[in-house]
Amino acid sequence: MSDIDPITLAVLSGRMEQIADEMDATLFRAAFNPIIAEAHDASHGLYHATSGDTLVQGKSGLPIFVGVMSFAVKAVIDKAAAEGDLADGDIFIFNDAHIGGTHLSDMRLVRPYFRDGELFCYLASVGHWHDLGGAVPGNYNPAATDAFAEAFILPPVRLARAGVVNQDIIDILMRNTRLPQSAQGDLNGQLGALDLGVKRMDELLDEYGADTVKAALDALGGRAETLMRSELSELPDGRWEAVDYLDNDGITDEPLPIKVSLEIKGDRMVLDFDGTAPRCAGPVNIAYPTAVATAYVAIKHIFPALPANAGVMRPIDVKIPEGSLLSAEFPAPVGGYTETILRMIDVIFSAMAQAAPDIVVGNAYGTINALSIAGRRKNGQPWVMFSFYGGGHGGTPEGDGLNHGNAPISTATIPPMEILEAAYPVMFRQWALRPDSAGAGAQRGGLGAIYEIEVLEENGADAFLFGERGRFAPQGVAGGEASVTNHFSYEQDDGWHEPPMASKMRGIKLKQGQAVRLETPGGGGYGPAETRDPVKVARDVALGFLSPERATEFYGTAWKEVKA
């Protein structure tokens, strides 16, 4: 069957998205660790049988996985082709970030789906496991100089062969984590999600037939490409550049530029990252698959109506320079990939704002502030609280940025304070919006947040921070102002201290009753601040979002004349 009518295509598209969504929900409900169960740091999808291209992804999973999981599936395709013995019921597992993208905390399971003895497509599951060994609990090691210091590394191997699980692989994994119960629960959840995906695909093909479903999958890719070309054709031709900086790599305290040139010609686009810093010693490098996937995430933000399908990227040429920190090869450390891809998104937004300011937003807060607090309970059991934290999003053409949102690399949620306090021996002294943190503009950025976390365990704890934006604030667009920088501090016997490298530090010793404090950036502003409605300025002052001094500095004095 070479063609398919639009109604059937729409129905099948929805059905396949529902399969991926249901796989997401299955893992979220079954996972043991809050990063998956509460924050939804995971994803599921359907992938092409020969290319590994993303066909369908669940709407609840992380967008960054749309692109990188196609590289993961392709790695399995290549392995199976080399060995020549792919079978129904095989399941591959690995976390090697240089092959599959992102970082070693993300465990990938890939399963071929067969129909009538023929390979039809692949199903895949990826989730952020709580701990996979390495030098730092939670695996965000700001001082890592190779991947071996970040986590246990597993290349693509068969977890199951023809439906028979290899317990040896599970035993190896469980021996290389500080939290085996959590890891076992997450693994079982991912296996359950894949089982459900197979069941739902069987039901779908029983109802519509393999030929019709395959035609729909092919058509979805072509449709995504056509939509992308149409969007690009509406934009002006030209070439625009933007550059921003990472604070440092955690090893050498020097800024690292991330640069892009964005060129549009007709219905095609080139994103060229020439001029970006070379590979560095510390863990802000990323692998090539991650860089390509990040470009997709940025494009998806700019054109939100586009489907989660690899066809979107066919008219876009992403050029990643060899030897740069965006194309690091094994065993370069890549644990802090989140910080680098956020800067990639920022510079793409800033470049696109010069071409079409009406379709972009100001830079978001630009760091997940990966914070691990770990120790041992009185009974000797280890505990590891790893979480990420929110900040403000950029101002938009339609309105102010979101206060205290999550990073734009994901649809994940920030784990609730109540969940973290219930699971770990900590107490949040403060969880609040950060005044004066938003970038000024006609539409201001969203506000960042303040978190202050006290250790309750009498044995104390060690803290590890991997953040960014400690020295370079998120930028505004279309004449909007930058917001403020990230600020981290920690409590000791002689008072509060700050990390020498601003946003990264390991081995912070905390006694019972001592705390760490994060003050996260807001988002960059959109449009000139002097054009902001004074009523909105006065409202922000009244709510405590904005101090009178900062209001006058950026917006003048007209807001003072507004009657309450």
Taking only the tens place, the pLDDT of each residue in 412-433 is 678 889 999 999 999 999 999 9
In whole angstroms, how far apart are CA 162 and each of 89, 91, 113, 159?
Answer: 4, 8, 12, 10
Res 500: pLDDT: 96
| Three-state SS annotation for 315-371 | CEEEECCCCECCCCCCCCCCCCHHHHHHHHHHHHHHHHHHHCHHHCCCCCCCCCCEE
User: Looking at this protein, which amino acid is placed at residue 152?
Assistant: F
Is the residue at 403 inside a domain?
A: yes
In a domain, 147, yes or no: yes
- φ and ψ at 229, to 5 degrees? -60, -40
Whole-number Å distance between alpha carbons of 230 and 270: 16
Domain termination residue (choose one: 225, 259, 280)? 225
Number of separate domains in the chain? 2
Question: What are 114's strand-pairing partners?
Answer: 119
For residue 528, the tally of other CB atoms under 10 A from its CB is: 15
Lowest-pLDDT range, 101-110, 247-256, 316-325, 413-422? 413-422
Q: What is the pLDDT of residues 458-473, one digit of tens each?
A: 999 999 999 999 999 9
Q: Quote the DSSP letter at residue 529.
A: G
> Would residue 133 count as lying in a domain?
yes
pLDDT in tens, 122-135: 999 999 998 999 99
For residue 176, give both structure tokens.
Answer: 């290389």
pLDDT reading at 564 higher than 70: no
Mean pLDDT, rounded, for 223-252: 96
Distance (Å, whole) CA 360 – CA 153: 38
**Residue 410 is part of which domain span?**
361-532
The pLDDT mean for the chain works out to 94
* Residue 189 falls inside a structural domain: yes
Question: Tokens in use for 504?
Answer: 């990264």
Rounded to whole angstroms, the Cα distance separating 548 from 552 reads 6
User: Sheet containing 426-433: which strands, arranged edge to edge?
Assistant: 426-433, 449-455, 515-519, 487-492, 495-497
pLDDT, tens only, 20-79: 999 999 999 999 998 898 888 899 999 999 999 888 888 776 667 767 889 999 999 999
- pLDDT 10s digits, 279-317: 999 999 999 999 999 998 899 899 988 887 888 889 999
Q: Where are the alpha helices (DSSP H) in 377-469?
A: 417-423
Q: Are 366 and 221 within one domain? A: no
Per-residue pLDDT reduced to its tens digit, 215-231: 999 898 899 999 999 99
Q: Is residue 202 part of a domain?
A: yes
Structure tokens at 549: 């001094």
**What's at 385, amino acid-wise?**
M
Q: pLDDT tens across 475-528, in order?
A: 999 999 999 999 999 999 999 999 999 999 999 999 999 999 999 999 999 999
> Please, which residues have CB within 8 angstroms of residue 10's CB and are 6 or more apart in sequence?
none
Proportion of the chain above pLDDT 90, given as a percent: 84
Q: Summarize pLDDT for 142-151 with one digit per residue, the tens.
A: 889 999 999 9
- H or E stretch covering 102: none
- Residue-level pLDDT at 1: 39
Q: Are residues 15 and 162 in the same domain?
A: yes
Which tens digits make up the pLDDT trace of 317-348?
999 999 999 999 999 999 999 999 999 999 99
DSSP, collapsed to helix, strand or coil, labels residue 76 as helix
Q: What are the structure tokens assigned to 361, written together?
A: 């937003």
Q: Does 511 share its domain with 365?
A: yes
Is there a domain that residue 370 lies in?
yes
Nearest to residue 484, comparing CAs of 527, 528, 448? Answer: 448
Residue ending a domain, among 225, 245, 264, is: 225
107 closest CA partner among 168, 188, 53: 188
What's the angle, vertex CA 472, arms to CA 447 and CA 398, rounded to 5?
A: 40
245 is a domain residue = no
Residue 340 belongs to a domain: no
